[in-house]
Structure 1
């Protein structure tokens, strides 16, 4: 039996965009521009925009992470906020 050098992957092998609630929450914060990335070092930095944080909280309340409650999603945002500073540690 000859081997086929071009293996085909199954079409239904797609995985979710985010694997964890924390990763999803960070993605929401970056989408809403509440958290930005340092252009020089790549660290996440609080953008100091209260409206962006309010938009992020409203977004996770309307569209929670699959399998999580809106309250758990808000708690994940707050946990991310505690771990992000106002300045890049390397700048």
Structure 2
């Protein structure tokens, strides 16, 4: 008779938290409170907080997305910010 450990299927490799540089940049901006989500519609909204933006950029420099340079990571953060307005388009 096999034990429980032997009956379990093999563990699958863990999927990375972010699949793309843009998704990672969006996550960094949310994590550092530079952007927020509209409570009613779910759109990303810029909080217009320069300190939060600077914290996100500094974190991107110190902990870049795997396989990307710190410069590419900061450029991705800037690109994501350019695409987000300071108000929800549906409000």
TM over 0.5, shorter chain: yes
d(CA) in 1 for partners of 2:26, 2:70: 15
Q: What count of residue pairs does the alignment treat as equivalent?
A: 85
The DSSP-based 3-state class of the residue aligned with 2:29 is helix
- Structure 2 regions of 5+ residues with no counterpart? 1-6
Runs in 1 of length 4+ with deviation above 3 angstroms? Answer: none
Unmatched 5+ residue regions in structure 1? Answer: 1-6
1:31-81: per-residue Cα shift (whole Å, max 9, x none)?
000010000000000011000000000000000000100000000001101
CA distance in 2 between counterparts of 1:22 and 1:12 reads: 25
**C-alpha displacement of 1:9:** 4.5
Displacement of 1:13: 2.1
What is residue 32 of structure 2 aligned with on the other side?
A: 32
How far apart are the structure 2 equivalents of 1:10 and 1:16? Answer: 18
The equivalent of 1:49 in structure 2 is 49
Residue aligned with 2:30, SS: helix
RMSD, aligned α-carbons: 1.3
Secondary structure in structure 2 of the residue aligned to 1:45: strand
